[in-house]
């Protein structure tokens, strides 16, 4: 279990414990309900307290939050840690690595890699990814170490992706086609009226040799969103043969989660991280830039 402490500021003078934790620190009703069931799950100034206790400035409220044990078998796999503290890990995911074990990929997932990492440190293995990347998409993944940080942190995450697509694009644009399963398929998506709303913003960075380097920010989080939207507009990602991309220069979709920003709910400050393009995308970029 992880115990988290917060000092009460003047503006919450007279507030109840539950009001302070929920409004000031985003503690969900579910996490608060679980904390109440733990021995000494909620303390005020080191003493057990009910959630209706009235607080005064300077009081210290603490609560216990769950650290759910990961049952994935530990496997020695690439696990590139860029940042770690008591509450979060930021890792740089490799290509060919699913987020979770799946049929055919039972022991090569990021979850397996995390289990090995924690075992080698002599720590309990936990796994709370705040979002998912496709198996062959590389880049930054934010992992929480407890239920509270997974819940509170997820609402503040902002990501930017970098991709290389076919065609010459300049300026910026927004794709708004709704996304759903392609009829008759279990994995492949398409833009269709029956789909769910999806919004993708893109900005061209540079182009050449029939290729464009783009940055993306997503207003929604649909499966394969960038890949589907770019294929629909006639500019599939390089290497993305599922959606019509060419395998001429790269054998997986040229898509990388390149920047991450989130608000740390315990440290109470914004955290930012960046990841440079992996080697295979750097090679495609060199081809793009070689036309200049």
Judged by DSSP in three states, 259 sits in: strand
φ, ψ dihedrals at 244, nearest 5° = 90, 10
List the beta strands (DSSP E) in the chain: 2-7, 42-44, 47-48, 60-65, 80-84, 88-93, 128-129, 138-144, 158-166, 172-175, 179-181, 189-191, 200-208, 211-218, 255-264, 269-274
Q: Which of 109, 135, 88, 145 is closest to 261 using CA atoms?
A: 88
Share of the chain above pLDDT 90, in %: 94
pLDDT digits (tens, 9 = 90+) for 136-186: 999 999 999 999 999 999 989 999 999 999 999 999 999 999 999 999 988
Interval 71-114: pLDDT, tens: 999 999 999 999 999 999 999 999 999 999 988 888 999 999 99
One fold for 67-150 and 159-257+284-289: yes
Residues counted in the chain:
292
Which string of b and e fits 208-239 if b means at least 16 CB within 10 Å?
eeebbbbbbebeeebbbbbbbbbbbbebbbbb
Give me the residue spans of the domains in the chain.
Answer: 2-65, 67-150, 159-257+284-289
Q: What is the pLDDT of residues 24-71, one digit of tens each?
A: 999 999 999 999 999 999 999 999 999 999 999 999 999 999 999 999
**The pair of three-digit structure tokens given for residue 16, joined into one six-digit string:** 């109840």
Q: Which CATH class is domain 159-257+284-289?
A: alpha beta
When the candidates are 3.10.290.10, 3.40.190.120, 3.30.70.20, 3.40.190.80, the CATH number that belongs to 2-65 is 3.10.290.10
Find out if CATH 3.30.2350.10 is the number for domain 67-150: yes
- 59 assigned to active site: no
Cα separation, 99 vs 105, whole angstroms? 10
- Going by pLDDT thresholds of 50, 70 and 90, the confidence category of residue 290 is confident
Strands (E), 154-266: 158-166, 172-175, 179-181, 189-191, 200-208, 211-218, 255-264
The one catalytic residue in 134, 201, 241, 280 is: 134
Strand, helix or coil for residue 280: helix
């Amino acid at each position: 279990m992880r115990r988290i402490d917060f000092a009460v500021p003047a503006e919450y003078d007279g507030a109840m414990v539950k009001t302070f934790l929920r409004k000031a620190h985003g503690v969900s009703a579910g996490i608060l309900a679980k904390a109440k069931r733990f021995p000494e799950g909620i303390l005020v100034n080191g003493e057990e307290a009910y959630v209706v206790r009235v607080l005064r400035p300077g009081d210290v409220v603490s609560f216990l939050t769950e650290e759910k044990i990961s049952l994935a078998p530990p496997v020695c796999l690439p696990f590139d840690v860029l940042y770690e503290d008591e509450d979060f890990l930021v890792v740089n995911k490799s290509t060919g690595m699913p987020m979770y074990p799946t049929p055919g990929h039972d022991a090569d997932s990021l979850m397996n890699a995390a289990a090995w990492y924690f075992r080698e440190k002599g720590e309990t293995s936990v796994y709370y990814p705040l979002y998912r990347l496709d198996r062959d998409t590389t880049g930054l993944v934010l992992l929480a170490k407890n239920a509270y940080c997974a819940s509170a942190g997820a609402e503040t995450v902002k990501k930017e992706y970098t991709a290389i697509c076919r065609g010459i694009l300049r300026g910026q644009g927004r794709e708004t086609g709704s996304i759903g399963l392609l009829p008759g398929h279990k994995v492949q998506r398409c833009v269709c009226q029956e789909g769910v709303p999806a919004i993708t913003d893109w900005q061209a960075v540079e182009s050449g040799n029939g290729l464009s380097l783009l940055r993306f920010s997503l207003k929604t989080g649909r499966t394969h969103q960038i890949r589907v939207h770019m294929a629909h507009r006639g500019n599939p990602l390089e290497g993305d043969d599922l959606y019509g991309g060419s395998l001429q220069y790269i054998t997986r979709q040229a898509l990388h989660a390149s920047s991450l920003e989130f608000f740390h709910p315990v440290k109470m400050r914004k955290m930012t991280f960046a990841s440079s393009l992996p080697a295979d995308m750097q090679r495609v970029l060199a081809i793009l830039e070689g036309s200049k």
